[in-house]
Each structure stands twice: as C-alpha cells, then as structure tokens.
Amino acid sequence: MIKVSLISLGCAKNLVDSEIMVGHLHQAGMTVIPDAEQADVVIVNTCSFIDSSKEESIGHILEVHRNRGLRKRRQSQKVIVAGCMAQRFSTDLSTALHDEVDAFIGLDQITQVAPIISGLFAREAAAAPVPENLVTRHSTYIPDYDTPRFRLTPKHFAYVKIAEGCNHPCTFCIIPQIRGRHRSRTVASVVAEARQLVTEGVRELNLISQDTTFFGMDTWAERPNSRTPVDSARGTALTTLLRQLNAIEGDFWIRLLYTHPAHWSDELIRTIAECPKVARYIDIPLQHISDRMLGAMQRETGGGYIRDLLGRIRAGIPGIAIRTTFITGFPGETDADVDELCTFIRETRFERLGVFRYSQEEGTRAAKLDRQVPAKTKEARWRRLMALQQEIAAELGAGQVGRRLRVLVEEPGIARGEADAPDIDGRVYVPRSLPAGEFADVTITGSEGYDLLALPPGETPAVRRAARQAQ
Ligand code: F3S
C-alpha cells in the first residue's frame, strides 16, 4: 500500500485543499502518515504569498529531498509540489528543482492526486528523466459538498470554503493571478456541507474564500438576462447563506472570515445582528485609511467610506469585535499617511489588528511603482503601529475583566471566545478541567497582552487557590 505524507503550508484556503487531497488519497486506498521520512510519497502544499512564504516552501522541499538522499531505503521516495507556489511558478521550478521534485500539480489537480501518484510509479519503471508539470494555467476548480475531504483541523472546528478565486484589482496582491477568477459555490452546496459538519460534532464553521462578501455576486454578473443588476444584488447571496446556516439545528458558531469592505451592505449588517449563531466578530482587511494609499492600492474604497461603514457595523451589531489588517510601507507611503493611520487606529480601537510590511511581489502592479519604501523605514513604521495596537489591546483586555464570556475550549487550559478566530487571534486561558471541544461559560478574571484569563462563574483566583490547597 502506498504511504503518503503531506506538508500543508500557507493559509486556511490551502489547508482545505490539503484536506481534499487527503480525502482523495484515502478514497483511493492510500495510507496518509504524518512522518515524511517513512512515506513513499511526500506532497508539499506550498504558499507563495510573499517572499518569506516562498522561502519557507522551498525550504521544506529541499529538506524532504535532503532526507531522502540520506536514507538509502527512501531514495525511491517521490516528491510532489502542490499549491500556490506550484500554480504560480511551476515552469521555472521544473528547471530549478529538476532533481528535487517528481511532479508539480496545480490547484485544479487536487482531486486527481491519487492517479497522479500511481502514474509517477509507472513512470519510474519507464525511467522518466524530468519532473512532470501537470499545472493547468487558469484555475477554475471549486469543491462541492460531497467532495471527498478529510479534515485536518481539531474535531470541533472546520473551515468551509464558500468560494474560490478573486476578482479584485489590488495592486499589491498576486493571489488573483494564482487562484483565478472568483467562483462561488451554491447556497445549497454550502448548507449541505455545514449540516454534515454539525452532525459530526463541529462547533464552529469558519467561512472562508478570498472575499466572502463577494459570495454569489459572480453568478449574478454572469446571468446575461438577469433584471437584477449586480449592485442591487450586493451581498444577497451571503445573507441568504448566513440565514440558512443559522437555521441549522445545533449549538455552533458561524464565523465570517476574509470580508472585503467594498461589498458590505446594510442587509448584511442586519443579517449578522439577527442571526445569533453568527459570531459577533468580523474580519475585514482594510489595508490602509489614507485615500492616497487606498487609491494606489486600488482597494475600491476610500477613507470616508470605511469610517462610515465601521460606524454602521458597530451601531448595527452590538458587541461586535472587529479584526483588520493593514499594510505599511506601500510604495509612496509617507509619514503623514502613517500618522493618519495611527489616528484612525486610535479612534477606532480595533479589537484585533495585524500589520504587514509591504512585500514587493514580482508580477504585481505595485512592484513596478516608483518610490518603494526602504526596508528600515517599513520596519520602523510596523513597530510604531504594532506598539500602538499593543496599548489598545491591553486597555481593551483590562476592560473585559468581570465580564461573562462563552468560550470554545480548544485543548485543556486554552479556549477562544467569539472574538478570537482559530490560529490568528488571542487565547482565553481557562482551568484545565473544562472539556476540550465544548463550549463553556466563564468569567474573565484578568488579561495578559492579547490574551485573557478566565474561570467558571462563581470562582475567583482566591477561591480556586483555596480549593486547590484543600485537595
Ligand atoms: Fe493562501 Fe499563500 Fe495561496 S496565503 S491563497 S496559500 S499564496
């Protein structure tokens, strides 16, 4: 029986692709094992977002190759490179990694991974000399509810990819060129998958795509005879989806990740407010607030629009926690732009915030812009923004003390609240006795940096200490 090991890098969208590959490997009767050294085939599912992701991907490929060279027994091991880096650079990499890689597969080949592996062993018998490049140029694949998939996340949460690809023109981003045009699944397909996941005991559905707020809008645009223009259909499909997910029986959260500010609507705000299972949390990458920068980034939004939208979101969804990300050091960014961003962050007091240093990515329009910002300046601006957020996060954390909170216990001693998405946000430290994978009600007793400390209601640190001493 062929043993396969898979190394999954990059974001949650790539992780879902890994899960689909593993699902298809199982279906074909192959065994998936964690230890790459023991495998007949190693798949590296790569990321290519910025330079550091590419370096990490190449590092893993070289390490797998080095290890197979060291072990005689494993010299026949095959290496397959999948994911965003393969999709983007397979032609160049087939030459550069001639000895290290046996095949490159793109995003549209993830469901064919098992026959591709069988083909590699058949090819070996024919002594094929070069890596196979099976990547097709424009990705069009999108999974369905019945696509074989083996979840790699803990039992209690799952990522649900509601769409793939991206139609936005952001000048700094390479992902639309990698993942192709936006294509949505149907509401029925996503609901069928969600229903199944909830039946399996999943407590949190994390809806993902490049832009979840664009969900369904591509299908409106593609209907030539539709009398509903795209603009008035804005967000309709997503609100329908959220309402139908909310109606599924069971105790679970629905978390909306990767929204784009340009596609929010009052109907979406109302829908979130009216659907109790939708977490009071939104992920809305804004990238900047200065009109000059937003224009240069082609973000399809301006500072005034963003301020107004956030005001409407906060007013319309009481208790909402807002996560955003910004990019600093974009070409042409001045100190005045950063000052404006700092003022905006101070005024808005985002509950969760990340800052990226701009990365000059080959193949993007921003890479060709004049006035690239020196690395040292980017670093200083990043530090300034992060220091500001640290202050705000500490104040917000301290303000939570005494509040009751419903948390989802991740593992003994560590939980997350509605305001914390898996892997990216803070933690809530809870007693180890609370069962993992289940919801629990706690009271916040303290905060540390981005994290909170909490105990079951009625317990205080002193009561708990006394109880422990009495044991
Ligand atoms: Fe994700 Fe990296 Fe691809 S961030 S979409 S795996 S380039």
Indicate which atom in ligand 1 lies nearest the CA of residue 88: 7
Q: Compute the average pLDDT of residues 62-81.
A: 82
The binding-site residues of ligand 1, defined as CB within 6 angstroms of any ligand atom, are 10-11, 13-14, 47-49, 53, 84, 175, 178-179
DSSP E strand stretches across 374-427? 404-411, 414-417
pLDDT tens by residue, 260-271 = 999 999 999 999
pTM above threshold 0.85: yes
- Which tokens hold the place of 404? 């009751």
**CA 84 to ligand 1 center in whole angstroms:** 6
- Identify which of 11, 19, 178, 424 to mutate to test ligand 1's pocket (most ligand atoms within 8 A of the CB): 11
Q: Where are the beta strands (DSSP E) in 149-300?
A: 157-161, 163-164, 183-184, 204-208, 253-256, 278-283
pLDDT, residue 464, reads 66
How many DSSP H helices and E strands does the chain contain?
14, 19
Q: Which of 266, 263, 255, 262 is nearest to 311 (CA)?
A: 266
C-alpha 76 to ligand 1 mean position (Å): 30
Q: Report CA(83)–ligand 1 centroid distance (Å).
A: 8
Written as six digits, the tokens of 201 are: 């005991």
Distance 20 CA to ligand 1 centre (A): 16
pLDDT interval class at 452 (50, 70, 90)? very high
pLDDT in tens, 16-40: 999 999 999 999 999 999 999 899 9
Distances (CA, A) of 433 to 65, 417, 440, 447: 43, 17, 11, 20
Q: Which atom of ligand 1 has the smallest separation from the CA of 210?
A: 5
222, pLDDT greater than 60: no
297: pLDDT strictly greater than 90: yes
- Average pLDDT of the chain, as a whole number: 92
Convert 428-455 to b/e letters by CB count within 10 Å (16 or more is b): bbbbeebebeebbebbbbebeebbbbbb
Domains and CATH numbers, the chain: 3-133 (3.40.50.12160), 157-398 (3.80.30.20), 404-470 (2.40.50.140)
Q: In sequence order, what E strands does 141-263 have?
A: 157-161, 163-164, 183-184, 204-208, 253-256
pLDDT, tens digit, 9 for 90 and up, residues 225-250: 444 444 444 456 899 999 999 999 99
* 286, 338, 342, 367, 380 from 335: Cα distances, Å: 19, 5, 10, 20, 11
Model pLDDT, residue 225: 47
The token pair at 405 is 């909170």
| 61 pLDDT tier (thresholds 50, 70, 90) | very high
Burial of 193 (0-12, 13-18, 19+ CB in 10 A): buried
Task: Give the chain's radius of gyration (CA, Å).
Answer: 24
